[in-house]
A = this chain, B = another copy of it.
Amino acid sequence: MDIKIVDVAAKAGVSPATVSRVLNNNSNVTANTKEKVMKVIEELGYQPNAAAKNLRSQRSMIIGVIVPEINNSYYAEIIKGIENKAYAQKYKVIICDTGNNKEKELDFISLLMNKTADSMILVTPLLSDEELCHIADMSYLIGVVGRHIDHHNIPCVYTDNVKFSKDVVSHLVQQGHRKIAFLSGYADAVDSYERLEGYLKALREHHIPFHPELIENGDFSEKGGYEAIKRLVEKQADFTAVYAANDEMALGVYKACAELDIRIPDQLAVVGVDNNRISRYIQPKLSTVSQPKIKMGRAIVEKLIEQLEHGEPSQERVLVLDSELMIRESSLAPVPGPSGSSPVTPGS
């Protein structure tokens, strides 16, 4: 079978305790014995059994990460940031893909809380604030990315949805638009709510009346965006610009516009959020909001590990990172048509 610590100890002529001390860089070992032990470890190719180590030390050096969709570039980038930082700190990362299923998310959480993972990162979880606080109250360490939670023991890293949404709408207004539609994500997602809030605040600041019929819900997917914009057009809503809650939905708008012969940005300006890689490659290039995804991943790991290893919450529990409005082609054009007419109605 595998070689274990007693084997090393025997061959090196020391006790298992000493081998353990050498492995864990415990200072109370003579340079001499240390060298001796290291040599035997090398010779035998000894690798400490992780399961035994975990049981004894009560930690697994594993961080769990729960995301809605692994294969969505937004989450994939955050995961990359998390994984790279974790590796640098000698932690491993377990990935869980919920497929936007709340049951699965809860299942993953209980699956990892049993000492499988020392801590968990929830990326824009489907759970309510209360549910998240409840986990933290069981003195299990969790971190949240993409959302603010009001709990003294939950580190959060996110960008300011309200702020960048106002920036998006202000940009559109500066381009001359006043009839701006908003395509929301899941109705119950925090991001949807806050982006809508930013949209409304910007309208208000620019003294633009709010028209509820210019808001449609989607689900953050291309299909959702496609259907939402179609609904808008079908009910003959009057708008010259669209703020889509993310790039996926903006992609759906592109698709619908292609079918309906609506030209972007001449007849309709479009802005998304996330700066998905695709947004730079489609025609016209999509204006969007760039979030520091990798940095967000790194930051949350940093906070979590600090807390795991020093026992106390890191100085700044909450980190709000800047996002950047990337103005590209899809929102740069003279505002179409005279006020009152609806340039996006097909055939007009």
Contacts and interface: CB of A to CB of B under 8 A. Distances in A.
Interface of A: 47-52, 54-55, 58, 60, 62, 69-71, 73, 76-77, 79-80, 83-84, 87, 92-97, 99, 104, 110-116, 251, 277-278, 281-283
A150 to B, nearest CB: 25
B283 A116 contact: no
B62 A71 contact: no
Contact of A110 (B47, B55, B76): B47
A54 to B, nearest CB: 4
Contact of A71 (B80, B93, B110, B283): B80
A79 B70 contact: yes
Nearest to A58: B51
B97 A83 contact: yes
Contact of A282 (B77, B84, B116, B281): B281
B48 A51 contact: no
Contacts of A111: 92
Contacts of A277: 278
B84 A97 contact: yes
A237 B110 CA distance: 60
Nearest to A108: B87
Given A47-B110, A47-B114, A115-B50, A83 B55 contact: no
12 contacts: A48-B114, A49-B115, A50-B114, A51-B55, A52-B55, A54-B54, A70-B83, A71-B76, A83-B95, A83-B96, A87-B97, A92-B94
